[in-house]
Amino acid sequence: MTSDKPLRVALLGFGVAGSIFHAPLIASTAGLELTAIVTANEERRSKAFKLYPDAKLLNSSDEVFANRENYDAVVIAAPNVQHAPLTKTALSLGLHTVVDKPMAISVAEAEELLLHAQRFEAVLTVFQNRRWDNDFLTIRHLISENAIGKVIRFESHFERWRPKVNKTAWREQTATDLGGGLLFDLGSHLIDQALLLFGEPENVYCEREKRRDGAVTDDDTFIAIKFKSGTIAHLWVNSLSAIRAPRFRVLGLEGSYEKWGLDPQEDALRLGELPAGPDWGVEPESRWGELVTDNNGDPIETRLETHRGNYPAFYQAFEESVRTGCRPPVEPSDALKTMQVIDAAIRSSESRVAATI
Protein backbone atom coordinates (compact mmCIF):
# COMPACT_ATOMS: atom_id res chain seq x y z
CA MET A 1 0.00 0.00 0.00
CA THR A 2 1.67 3.22 -1.16
CA SER A 3 -1.00 5.91 -0.62
CA ASP A 4 0.01 8.85 1.59
CA LYS A 5 -3.48 9.00 3.06
CA PRO A 6 -3.88 7.79 6.66
CA LEU A 7 -4.92 4.19 7.11
CA ARG A 8 -8.57 4.16 8.15
CA VAL A 9 -8.88 2.03 11.29
CA ALA A 10 -12.03 0.59 12.86
CA LEU A 11 -11.72 -0.34 16.54
CA LEU A 12 -13.97 -3.27 17.47
CA GLY A 13 -14.58 -2.91 21.19
CA PHE A 14 -14.23 -0.05 23.67
CA GLY A 15 -13.82 -1.78 27.01
CA VAL A 16 -10.59 -1.73 29.00
CA ALA A 17 -8.39 -2.88 26.12
CA GLY A 18 -10.05 -0.71 23.50
CA SER A 19 -10.41 2.50 25.48
CA ILE A 20 -7.24 2.48 27.57
CA PHE A 21 -4.71 0.92 25.22
CA HIS A 22 -5.76 0.78 21.58
CA ALA A 23 -7.69 4.00 20.99
CA PRO A 24 -5.08 6.45 22.33
CA LEU A 25 -2.23 4.57 20.67
CA ILE A 26 -4.01 4.49 17.30
CA ALA A 27 -5.05 8.14 17.52
CA SER A 28 -1.51 9.27 18.33
CA THR A 29 0.22 7.29 15.56
CA ALA A 30 1.19 9.19 12.42
CA GLY A 31 -0.33 7.53 9.36
CA LEU A 32 -3.30 6.04 11.22
CA GLU A 33 -6.81 7.47 11.57
CA LEU A 34 -9.29 6.21 14.15
CA THR A 35 -12.25 6.20 11.77
CA ALA A 36 -14.82 4.13 13.67
CA ILE A 37 -15.41 2.69 17.13
CA VAL A 38 -17.74 -0.25 17.69
CA THR A 39 -19.58 -0.46 21.01
CA ALA A 40 -23.25 -0.84 21.86
CA ASN A 41 -22.75 0.22 25.48
CA GLU A 42 -24.23 3.69 25.97
CA GLU A 43 -21.76 4.73 28.67
CA ARG A 44 -18.84 3.69 26.48
CA ARG A 45 -20.35 5.41 23.43
CA SER A 46 -20.57 8.63 25.41
CA LYS A 47 -16.94 8.31 26.48
CA ALA A 48 -15.81 7.49 22.94
CA PHE A 49 -17.66 10.50 21.48
CA LYS A 50 -16.10 12.83 24.05
CA LEU A 51 -12.56 11.57 23.43
CA TYR A 52 -12.74 10.89 19.68
CA PRO A 53 -15.48 13.08 18.19
CA ASP A 54 -14.30 12.50 14.62
CA ALA A 55 -14.72 8.72 14.87
CA LYS A 56 -18.00 7.18 13.71
CA LEU A 57 -19.78 5.25 16.48
CA LEU A 58 -21.21 1.89 15.42
CA ASN A 59 -23.21 -0.72 17.30
CA SER A 60 -21.85 -3.84 15.62
CA SER A 61 -18.78 -5.12 13.83
CA ASP A 62 -21.16 -6.24 11.08
CA GLU A 63 -21.54 -2.55 10.17
CA VAL A 64 -17.79 -2.36 9.58
CA PHE A 65 -17.65 -5.54 7.52
CA ALA A 66 -20.70 -4.54 5.44
CA ASN A 67 -18.92 -1.30 4.51
CA ARG A 68 -15.46 -2.72 4.09
CA GLU A 69 -14.54 -0.10 1.46
CA ASN A 70 -14.54 2.57 4.19
CA TYR A 71 -11.71 0.94 6.13
CA ASP A 72 -8.16 -0.25 5.63
CA ALA A 73 -7.64 -2.01 8.95
CA VAL A 74 -9.46 -3.26 12.01
CA VAL A 75 -8.34 -3.63 15.61
CA ILE A 76 -10.11 -6.36 17.55
CA ALA A 77 -10.48 -5.56 21.25
CA ALA A 78 -13.47 -7.82 21.93
CA PRO A 79 -13.65 -10.68 24.48
CA ASN A 80 -11.20 -13.52 23.77
CA VAL A 81 -13.80 -15.95 22.46
CA GLN A 82 -14.58 -13.49 19.65
CA HIS A 83 -10.98 -12.96 18.56
CA ALA A 84 -10.72 -15.77 16.03
CA PRO A 85 -14.16 -15.37 14.38
CA LEU A 86 -13.78 -11.59 13.99
CA THR A 87 -10.21 -11.89 12.76
CA LYS A 88 -11.15 -14.55 10.24
CA THR A 89 -13.91 -12.36 8.81
CA ALA A 90 -11.67 -9.28 8.68
CA LEU A 91 -8.87 -11.12 6.90
CA SER A 92 -11.27 -12.68 4.39
CA LEU A 93 -12.28 -9.14 3.42
CA GLY A 94 -8.65 -8.14 2.96
CA LEU A 95 -8.60 -5.93 6.04
CA HIS A 96 -5.27 -5.62 7.81
CA THR A 97 -5.84 -6.80 11.35
CA VAL A 98 -4.55 -6.20 14.85
CA VAL A 99 -6.05 -8.62 17.34
CA ASP A 100 -5.59 -8.26 21.07
CA LYS A 101 -3.81 -11.08 22.85
CA PRO A 102 -4.37 -13.97 22.90
CA MET A 103 -4.85 -14.39 19.15
CA ALA A 104 -7.34 -17.23 19.69
CA ILE A 105 -8.55 -19.62 22.38
CA SER A 106 -7.24 -22.81 20.76
CA VAL A 107 -4.28 -23.94 18.70
CA ALA A 108 -6.60 -24.98 15.86
CA GLU A 109 -8.13 -21.50 15.68
CA ALA A 110 -4.69 -19.86 15.70
CA GLU A 111 -3.43 -22.11 12.91
CA GLU A 112 -6.49 -21.28 10.81
CA LEU A 113 -5.87 -17.55 11.22
CA LEU A 114 -2.30 -17.87 9.95
CA LEU A 115 -3.57 -19.65 6.85
CA HIS A 116 -6.22 -16.97 6.35
CA ALA A 117 -3.67 -14.17 6.53
CA GLN A 118 -1.55 -15.90 3.89
CA ARG A 119 -4.51 -16.68 1.65
CA PHE A 120 -5.96 -13.17 1.62
CA GLU A 121 -2.58 -11.36 1.75
CA ALA A 122 -3.49 -9.13 4.68
CA VAL A 123 -1.23 -8.10 7.56
CA LEU A 124 -2.06 -9.96 10.76
CA THR A 125 -0.44 -9.09 14.06
CA VAL A 126 -1.19 -9.55 17.76
CA PHE A 127 -1.13 -6.84 20.43
CA GLN A 128 1.57 -8.21 22.73
CA ASN A 129 2.32 -4.74 24.06
CA ARG A 130 4.31 -6.03 27.04
CA ARG A 131 7.20 -6.58 24.63
CA TRP A 132 7.62 -2.80 24.92
CA ASP A 133 7.52 -2.64 28.73
CA ASN A 134 10.50 -0.76 30.11
CA ASP A 135 11.77 -3.61 32.29
CA PHE A 136 11.46 -6.20 29.53
CA LEU A 137 13.33 -3.96 27.07
CA THR A 138 16.07 -3.67 29.69
CA ILE A 139 16.27 -7.44 30.11
CA ARG A 140 16.39 -8.02 26.35
CA HIS A 141 19.32 -5.62 26.14
CA LEU A 142 21.16 -7.29 29.03
CA ILE A 143 20.77 -10.72 27.44
CA SER A 144 21.74 -9.51 23.96
CA GLU A 145 24.90 -7.98 25.46
CA ASN A 146 25.63 -11.17 27.44
CA ALA A 147 25.85 -8.95 30.53
CA ILE A 148 24.97 -11.75 32.97
CA GLY A 149 26.16 -14.74 30.96
CA LYS A 150 23.97 -17.70 30.12
CA VAL A 151 20.55 -17.31 31.74
CA ILE A 152 19.73 -20.35 33.83
CA ARG A 153 16.54 -19.15 35.51
CA PHE A 154 14.00 -16.49 34.55
CA GLU A 155 11.35 -15.49 37.09
CA SER A 156 8.42 -13.27 36.15
CA HIS A 157 5.54 -12.17 38.40
CA PHE A 158 2.47 -10.21 37.33
CA GLU A 159 0.37 -9.98 40.45
CA ARG A 160 -2.58 -7.94 41.67
CA TRP A 161 -4.60 -7.54 44.86
CA ARG A 162 -8.23 -8.16 43.91
CA PRO A 163 -9.65 -10.32 46.70
CA LYS A 164 -13.24 -10.03 45.45
CA VAL A 165 -14.42 -11.48 42.14
CA ASN A 166 -15.61 -8.80 39.73
CA LYS A 167 -19.03 -10.04 38.66
CA THR A 168 -19.22 -7.62 35.73
CA ALA A 169 -15.83 -8.43 34.19
CA TRP A 170 -16.04 -10.97 31.37
CA ARG A 171 -12.45 -12.16 32.06
CA GLU A 172 -13.52 -13.28 35.53
CA GLN A 173 -16.95 -14.58 34.52
CA THR A 174 -15.87 -16.68 31.51
CA ALA A 175 -14.66 -20.27 31.76
CA THR A 176 -11.15 -21.14 30.60
CA ASP A 177 -12.38 -23.11 27.58
CA LEU A 178 -13.95 -19.85 26.35
CA GLY A 179 -10.84 -17.77 26.99
CA GLY A 180 -11.46 -16.53 30.51
CA GLY A 181 -9.03 -16.43 33.42
CA LEU A 182 -5.49 -15.30 34.12
CA LEU A 183 -3.72 -17.93 32.02
CA PHE A 184 -5.21 -16.43 28.86
CA ASP A 185 -5.02 -12.86 30.13
CA LEU A 186 -1.77 -11.95 31.90
CA GLY A 187 -0.33 -15.40 31.28
CA SER A 188 -0.23 -14.83 27.53
CA HIS A 189 1.97 -11.76 28.11
CA LEU A 190 4.45 -13.56 30.33
CA ILE A 191 4.61 -16.59 28.04
CA ASP A 192 5.20 -14.38 24.99
CA GLN A 193 8.03 -12.57 26.76
CA ALA A 194 9.73 -15.81 27.79
CA LEU A 195 9.44 -17.29 24.30
CA LEU A 196 10.89 -14.15 22.75
CA LEU A 197 13.92 -14.35 25.04
CA PHE A 198 14.65 -18.07 25.08
CA GLY A 199 13.25 -19.67 21.93
CA GLU A 200 11.93 -23.20 21.66
CA PRO A 201 10.29 -24.74 24.75
CA GLU A 202 10.83 -28.37 25.66
CA ASN A 203 7.99 -28.89 28.13
CA VAL A 204 5.48 -26.98 30.26
CA TYR A 205 4.22 -27.53 33.80
CA CYS A 206 1.26 -25.57 35.14
CA GLU A 207 -0.87 -25.17 38.25
CA ARG A 208 -4.21 -23.35 37.81
CA GLU A 209 -6.40 -22.63 40.81
CA LYS A 210 -9.67 -20.89 41.65
CA ARG A 211 -8.96 -19.36 45.03
CA ARG A 212 -11.56 -16.65 45.62
CA ASP A 213 -15.15 -17.27 46.67
CA GLY A 214 -17.29 -17.43 43.56
CA ALA A 215 -14.35 -17.72 41.17
CA VAL A 216 -15.42 -19.07 37.77
CA THR A 217 -11.94 -19.42 36.30
CA ASP A 218 -8.29 -19.38 37.36
CA ASP A 219 -7.14 -16.50 39.54
CA ASP A 220 -3.89 -18.03 40.82
CA THR A 221 -1.70 -19.63 38.17
CA PHE A 222 1.91 -20.81 37.95
CA ILE A 223 3.64 -21.83 34.73
CA ALA A 224 7.08 -23.43 34.43
CA ILE A 225 8.67 -23.66 30.99
CA LYS A 226 11.83 -25.63 30.34
CA PHE A 227 13.54 -24.42 27.17
CA LYS A 228 15.72 -26.48 24.86
CA SER A 229 18.54 -24.05 25.65
CA GLY A 230 18.44 -25.23 29.28
CA THR A 231 16.89 -22.05 30.66
CA ILE A 232 13.96 -22.56 33.03
CA ALA A 233 11.25 -19.87 33.24
CA HIS A 234 8.94 -19.62 36.25
CA LEU A 235 5.91 -17.41 35.62
CA TRP A 236 3.32 -16.35 38.21
CA VAL A 237 0.00 -14.57 37.66
CA ASN A 238 -2.57 -14.08 40.41
CA SER A 239 -5.18 -11.77 41.88
CA LEU A 240 -4.30 -12.35 45.53
CA SER A 241 -0.98 -10.62 46.14
CA ALA A 242 -1.37 -7.95 48.79
CA ILE A 243 2.44 -8.07 49.04
CA ARG A 244 4.20 -8.07 45.69
CA ALA A 245 7.14 -10.16 44.52
CA PRO A 246 9.75 -8.72 42.13
CA ARG A 247 8.37 -8.17 38.65
CA PHE A 248 11.48 -9.88 37.22
CA ARG A 249 14.40 -11.84 38.62
CA VAL A 250 16.89 -13.10 36.05
CA LEU A 251 19.75 -15.37 37.10
CA GLY A 252 22.76 -15.89 34.84
CA LEU A 253 26.03 -17.71 35.28
CA GLU A 254 27.86 -14.38 35.46
CA GLY A 255 25.33 -12.16 37.23
CA SER A 256 21.72 -11.39 38.07
CA TYR A 257 19.13 -8.68 37.50
CA GLU A 258 16.13 -7.89 39.71
CA LYS A 259 13.38 -5.36 39.04
CA TRP A 260 10.40 -4.33 41.18
CA GLY A 261 7.21 -2.55 40.11
CA LEU A 262 5.28 -2.31 36.86
CA ASP A 263 6.02 -0.30 33.75
CA PRO A 264 4.40 3.16 34.17
CA GLN A 265 2.80 3.31 30.72
CA GLU A 266 -0.46 1.55 31.64
CA ASP A 267 -1.08 3.83 34.61
CA ALA A 268 -0.38 6.87 32.42
CA LEU A 269 -2.87 5.67 29.80
CA ARG A 270 -5.48 5.00 32.49
CA LEU A 271 -5.06 8.61 33.63
CA GLY A 272 -5.78 9.80 30.10
CA GLU A 273 -2.24 10.85 29.25
CA LEU A 274 -1.31 10.76 25.58
CA PRO A 275 1.56 8.46 24.58
CA ALA A 276 3.85 11.20 23.32
CA GLY A 277 6.51 13.62 24.44
CA PRO A 278 10.08 13.22 25.68
CA ASP A 279 9.08 11.89 29.10
CA TRP A 280 6.72 9.16 27.89
CA GLY A 281 7.76 5.77 29.28
CA VAL A 282 10.61 7.20 31.35
CA GLU A 283 10.99 5.78 34.85
CA PRO A 284 12.42 7.68 37.85
CA GLU A 285 15.75 6.52 39.23
CA SER A 286 14.08 5.37 42.44
CA ARG A 287 12.44 2.54 40.48
CA TRP A 288 15.48 1.31 38.57
CA GLY A 289 16.44 -2.33 38.93
CA GLU A 290 19.58 -3.85 40.44
CA LEU A 291 22.26 -5.52 38.36
CA VAL A 292 24.87 -7.67 40.08
CA THR A 293 27.82 -8.91 38.01
CA ASP A 294 30.97 -10.85 38.81
CA ASN A 295 34.46 -9.38 39.15
CA ASN A 296 36.78 -12.31 39.75
CA GLY A 297 34.53 -13.64 42.48
CA ASP A 298 33.55 -10.26 43.91
CA PRO A 299 30.01 -8.99 43.19
CA ILE A 300 29.58 -5.56 41.60
CA GLU A 301 26.20 -4.02 42.43
CA THR A 302 24.76 -1.41 40.06
CA ARG A 303 21.50 0.52 39.99
CA LEU A 304 20.74 0.06 36.31
CA GLU A 305 18.80 2.70 34.43
CA THR A 306 15.61 1.22 33.02
CA HIS A 307 15.07 1.51 29.29
CA ARG A 308 12.29 3.81 28.17
CA GLY A 309 8.97 2.01 27.73
CA ASN A 310 7.60 2.31 24.23
CA TYR A 311 4.04 1.12 23.56
CA PRO A 312 3.73 3.57 20.62
CA ALA A 313 6.32 1.46 18.77
CA PHE A 314 3.71 -1.25 18.19
CA TYR A 315 1.35 0.81 16.05
CA GLN A 316 4.23 2.62 14.36
CA ALA A 317 5.52 -0.78 13.24
CA PHE A 318 2.03 -1.91 12.21
CA GLU A 319 1.57 1.16 10.02
CA GLU A 320 4.96 0.57 8.41
CA SER A 321 4.19 -3.10 7.84
CA VAL A 322 0.98 -2.26 5.97
CA ARG A 323 2.72 0.45 3.92
CA THR A 324 5.90 -1.39 2.99
CA GLY A 325 5.29 -5.09 3.48
CA CYS A 326 7.96 -5.38 6.19
CA ARG A 327 7.52 -7.66 9.17
CA PRO A 328 4.65 -6.83 11.54
CA PRO A 329 5.42 -5.81 15.14
CA VAL A 330 4.45 -9.29 16.37
CA GLU A 331 4.62 -12.23 14.01
CA PRO A 332 1.42 -14.32 14.05
CA SER A 333 3.64 -17.41 14.19
CA ASP A 334 4.90 -16.13 17.56
CA ALA A 335 1.30 -15.83 18.76
CA LEU A 336 0.70 -19.42 17.63
CA LYS A 337 3.63 -20.57 19.77
CA THR A 338 2.14 -18.74 22.74
CA MET A 339 -1.15 -20.53 22.13
CA GLN A 340 0.67 -23.87 21.97
CA VAL A 341 2.24 -23.18 25.37
CA ILE A 342 -1.15 -22.19 26.81
CA ASP A 343 -2.60 -25.44 25.46
CA ALA A 344 0.24 -27.43 27.04
CA ALA A 345 -0.27 -25.53 30.31
CA ILE A 346 -3.96 -26.46 30.38
CA ARG A 347 -3.13 -30.12 29.75
CA SER A 348 -0.45 -30.06 32.44
CA SER A 349 -2.75 -28.44 35.01
CA GLU A 350 -5.25 -31.24 34.47
CA SER A 351 -2.71 -34.07 34.73
CA ARG A 352 -0.32 -32.39 37.21
CA VAL A 353 2.64 -33.52 35.09
CA ALA A 354 4.73 -31.61 32.56
CA ALA A 355 3.31 -31.56 29.01
CA THR A 356 5.20 -31.31 25.73
CA ILE A 357 4.37 -28.76 23.05
Quick: pLDDT tens for 35-77: 999 999 999 999 999 999 999 999 999 999 999 999 999 999 9
Query: Is 327 inside a domain boundary?
Result: no
Looking only at the bridges linking them, the beta strands covering 248-252 and 232-238 are unpaired
Domain C-terminal end among 69, 93, 128: 128
Q: Indicate if 184 and 78 belong to the same structural domain.
A: no
What is the distance between the alpha carbons of residues 117 and 11, in angstroms, rounded to a whole number?
Answer: 19
The CATH number linked to 216 is 3.30.360.10
Average pLDDT, the chain: 96
Q: Indicate if 306 and 188 belong to the same structural domain.
A: yes
Identify the domain containing residue 223 by its residue range: 130-312+341-356
What is the distance between the alpha carbons of residues 117 and 92, in angstroms, rounded to a whole number?
Answer: 8
Look at residue 66 in the predicted model and tell me its pLDDT: 98
Region 71-96 average pLDDT: 98
pLDDT category at 276 given cuts 50, 70, 90 is confident
The CATH number linked to 115 is 3.40.50.720
Look at residue 115 in the predicted model and tell me its pLDDT: 96
Query: Is 336 inside a domain boundary?
Result: no
Q: Indicate if 84 and 140 belong to the same structural domain.
A: no
Query: Percentage of the chain surpassing pLDDT 70?
Result: 99
3-state secondary structure 186-245: HHHHHHHHHHHHHCCEEEEEEEEECCCCCCCCCCEEEEEEEECCCCEEEEEEECECCCCC
Judge whether residue 2 has pLDDT over 70: no
Yes or no: say if 337 and 108 are a contact pair by the CB < 8 Å rule: no
Judge whether residue 3 has pLDDT over 80: no
pLDDT category at 1 given cuts 50, 70, 90 is low
> How many domains does one find in the chain?
2
Yes or no: say if 228 and 200 are a contact pair by the CB < 8 Å rule: yes
Residue 117: exposure state from Cβ atoms within 10 A (0-12, 13-18, ≥19)? buried
Look at residue 142 in the predicted model and tell me its pLDDT: 98
User: In whole angstroms, what separates CA 83 from the centre of its chain?
Assistant: 14
User: Would the pTM count as exceeding 0.85?
Assistant: yes
Domain C-terminal end among 85, 112, 128: 128
Q: Indicate if 112 and 42 belong to the same structural domain.
A: yes
Q: Indicate if 124 and 161 belong to the same structural domain.
A: no
User: In whole angstroms, what separates CA 339 from the centre of its chain?
Assistant: 13
